[in-house]
Amino acid sequence: MVSTTDMLELLVVLLTMTGIVESVGNASHKLGTVFLITFGNGSNLDSNKTPSDFNFTTNHSQQHTDSIESGNFGFVNKIAKNRSSWHIGALDHTKDDDGGYMFLVDVGNESHQPLFNYKVDNLSRGVCYEFSAYITNVVKSGAKQAKSNVRLEIRETDKNDTLITQTSTGDLPECSNMSWSKYGISFVPTSTSAALLVVSNVYETMGNDLAIDDIELRVCSDSVDQCAEQDTQESTSMFLITFGEGSSTYSNKTPSDFNFTTNHTQNLSTPTEFGHFGLVNKVPGNVGTWHNDSLDHTVNDNGGYMFLVDVGEDIHQPLFSYKIINLCIGLCYEFSAYFANVVIAGRKYAKPDVRLEVRATKEDGNLIANRSTGDIPECNNMTWSKHSISFSPTSSLVVLLMLSNVNQQNGNDLAIDDIELRVCSRNHSGFCPPS
Ligand SMILES: *[C@@H]1O[C@H](CO)[C@@H](O)[C@H](O)[C@H]1NC(C)=O
Ligand SMILES: *[C@@H]1O[C@H](CO)[C@@H](O)[C@H](O)[C@H]1NC(C)=O
Ligand SMILES: *[C@@H]1O[C@H](CO)[C@@H](O)[C@H](O)[C@H]1NC(C)=O
Ligand SMILES: *[C@@H]1O[C@H](CO)[C@@H](O)[C@H](O)[C@H]1NC(C)=O
Ligand SMILES: *[C@@H]1O[C@H](CO)[C@@H](O)[C@H](O)[C@H]1NC(C)=O
Ligand SMILES: *[C@@H]1O[C@H](CO)[C@@H](O)[C@H](O)[C@H]1NC(C)=O
Ligand SMILES: *[C@@H]1O[C@H](CO)[C@@H](O)[C@H](O)[C@H]1NC(C)=O
Ligand SMILES: *[C@@H]1O[C@H](CO)[C@@H](O)[C@H](O)[C@H]1NC(C)=O
Ligand SMILES: *[C@@H]1O[C@H](CO)[C@@H](O)[C@H](O)[C@H]1NC(C)=O
Ligand SMILES: *[C@@H]1O[C@H](CO)[C@@H](O)[C@H](O)[C@H]1NC(C)=O
Ligand SMILES: *[C@@H]1O[C@H](CO)[C@@H](O)[C@H](O)[C@H]1NC(C)=O
Ligand SMILES: *[C@@H]1O[C@H](CO)[C@@H](O)[C@H](O)[C@H]1NC(C)=O
């Protein structure tokens, strides 16, 4: 058994590491990483490396000039093409490299699938992995061109490329500054080989331009921060709900203490009834199929609470609803939370799958952005993963929602923690009160 202290220490180490992913000479920073493609760095605008140098293939054509056109890509160290609609001068995502390259693609209107294809053949069966990348729209805010929207797919290559799981980024927002966001998908392979793919959902000529960086496969762990500027000191948190801490198993705080509402009913005992939740500081020990005694996600809290919910059927929507006012139109924000499947591995119960939605003005207002977690896998240990959605509000009042995509009773048990809204820009409070 891993003790609580060990797990907390692991979390602290992982969190400490997020800022120094590129520091060489510290072997521990590779903990859990199977591969990480940063595209390297250099002083020429355009790298002469090819996809095979990074062990992947693409069906787009590489362009070694500053003239990336429809269907082409380049590895560039800044957005230099004189297209008035692009973020000219914007840099890659990788921290602490000068002249770091990124994968810049003009996806275009024709099918050049896939954008990215990486075959791995040394996975461990039954272990939870996370495939992720930082992705951004290259087009400036206000251009109103076609927004790129890509899908991460995991296929089992020794089983006729059977799709195991997939997730889409949703439309990548046009931002006032180029804003990188991390998109990831967790999966538990049933064989040792898989293809990790990035595929476009959109075929358009005007716009549909994106950049990708820091493509990673790692053993599931605490995901790194996903917001554009990555480090907490560089992007501002507008709210963070950790659910507090305490010594009694069930917190008697209510959603209104945290400024949100839910259509689930709160319990002060094991929430094993459909549509019920509890704020617990460990998973109750009296449910045979749960990760008994597993803890919340928040680092450095003692007896930290999490939102534990038996989702059940559709009538208890939404899981979570939060109204926020005085946002800035055109800025980019990221709404995120950590999720874990509470059911132990091997049950093959219904897996939770949650949709994050951002709507203008009210709960049934115009949809600004939406994105699903995909099936949250059953793991050997209760494993938290961060899921987020980026958006650029069209209204200064928005509602942030979590809705279940799964309406089944067996399984569908979920824990949520550290729900956050961040502004993806340096030195900006994120609030624009009417003057
Ligand atoms: C998962 O839990 C088992 C027992 O519950 C423990 O032996 C194992 O070390 C844990 N693995 C990790 C990665 O924490
Ligand atoms: C390596 O990483 C660990 C954990 O973050 C840190 O404590 C240590 O100082 C680092 N060592 C070097 C040489 O950077
Ligand atoms: C790559 O980045 C490192 C770290 O910033 C820097 O020392 C090095 O000079 C860079 N290489 C080139 C060719 O720019
Ligand atoms: C590519 O694969 C080879 C062989 O598996 C490995 O040695 C090399 O480090 C990989 N390169 C990258 C950039 O991942
Ligand atoms: C791009 O535009 C800048 C200024 O607008 C100009 O100085 C530069 O020559 C242009 N570059 C190309 C390749 O057209
Ligand atoms: C893509 O756009 C080009 C230029 O507008 C056009 O010639 C071509 O037929 C289009 N292809 C498709 C599949 O629509
Ligand atoms: C790449 O795209 C072309 C044109 O659509 C298609 O004929 C070809 O089969 C594709 N290649 C791969 C590897 O998918
Ligand atoms: C798995 O393969 C990757 C390259 O595809 C390599 O970098 C990594 O070290 C391998 N891992 C193990 C445990 O062999
Ligand atoms: C493999 O997949 C292809 C495309 O989905 C399908 O046409 C074919 O019948 C499959 N083959 C087997 C053996 O399942
Ligand atoms: C709830 O909202 C009030 C008023 O906006 C604010 O003072 C308080 O800090 C918020 N509480 C939490 C937990 O976000
Ligand atoms: C939950 O949703 C149902 C159906 O939409 C609605 O009738 C009910 O009033 C809601 N309950 C709460 C507590 O919001
Ligand atoms: C956007 O970028 C410009 C220059 O790169 C910088 O001066 C400005 O502060 C940034 N704006 C925000 C909101 O981050």
Q: What is the pLDDT of residue 5?
A: 38
- Between the CA of 239 and the centroid of ligand 10 the distance, in Å, is 8
**Which residue has a Cα nearest atom 8 of ligand 2?**
26
Q: Which residues pair with 237 in a beta bridge?
A: 422
Residue 143 is given by DSSP the state: -
Same domain membership, residue 95 and residue 49: yes
Distances in whole angstroms, Cα of residue 396 to Cα of each of 292, 301, 325, 362, 430: 42, 33, 6, 11, 11
Q: What is the pLDDT of residue 189?
A: 85
CATH number assigned to the domain comprising residue 301? 2.60.120.260
- Residue span of the structural domain in which 400 resides: 236-423
- Between the CA of 22 and the centroid of ligand 12 the distance, in Å, is 24
Q: What is the pLDDT of residue 362?
A: 92
In 10 A of CB 22, how many CB atoms?
15
Before 51, cis peptide (omega within 30)?
Answer: no
Same domain membership, residue 250 and residue 177: no
Same domain membership, residue 312 and residue 271: yes
**Which residue has a Cα nearest atom 11 of ligand 4?**
54
Same domain membership, residue 390 and residue 241: yes
- Between the CA of 227 and the centroid of ligand 7 the distance, in Å, is 34
Q: Is 109 in the pocket of ligand 7 (CB under 6 A)?
A: no
Domain's final residue, options 190, 219, 248: 219
| Amino acid letter, residue 18 | T
Same domain membership, residue 159 and residue 242: no
CATH number assigned to the domain comprising residue 65? 2.60.120.200
Does residue 229 belong to any structural domain of this protein? no
Q: Which atom of ligand 8 is nearest to the CA of 34?
A: 8
Q: Which atom of ligand 4 is nearest to the CA of 55?
A: 1
Tally of domains within the chain = 2
Q: Is 59 in the pocket of ligand 7 (CB under 6 A)?
A: yes
Contact 171, 361 (CB under 8 A): no
Q: To test ligand 5's pocket by mutation, which of 63, 65, 79, 82 has the most ligand atoms within 8 angstroms of CB?
A: 82
Q: Is 35 in the pocket of ligand 4 (CB under 6 A)?
A: yes
Q: Is 254 in the pocket of ligand 10 (CB under 6 A)?
A: no
* Alpha-carbon span 187 to 122, nearest angstrom: 15
The SS3 call for residue 205 is: coil
- Between the CA of 324 and the centroid of ligand 11 the distance, in Å, is 21
Does residue 301 belong to any structural domain of this protein? yes
Predicted TM-score (pTM) of the model is 0.71
Domain's final residue, options 173, 189, 219: 219
- Between the CA of 80 and the centroid of ligand 5 the distance, in Å, is 9
Does residue 4 belong to any structural domain of this protein? no
Q: pLDDT 10s digit of each residue in the chain, 435 long?
A: 334 433 333 333 333 222 222 222 222 233 478 999 999 999 999 999 999 999 999 999 999 877 788 899 999 999 987 788 999 999 999 887 899 999 999 999 988 899 999 999 988 877 778 899 999 999 998 888 999 999 999 999 988 999 988 888 889 999 888 888 888 888 888 889 999 999 999 999 999 999 999 999 988 754 433 333 344 445 788 999 999 999 999 999 999 999 999 999 999 999 888 999 999 999 998 899 999 999 999 888 899 999 999 998 777 899 999 999 999 887 888 899 999 999 998 888 999 999 999 999 999 999 998 888 888 888 888 888 888 888 888 899 999 999 999 988 889 999 999 999 988 776 678 888 887
Q: Which atom of ligand 10 is nearest to the CA of 257?
A: 13
* Alpha-carbon span 154 to 35, nearest angstrom: 15
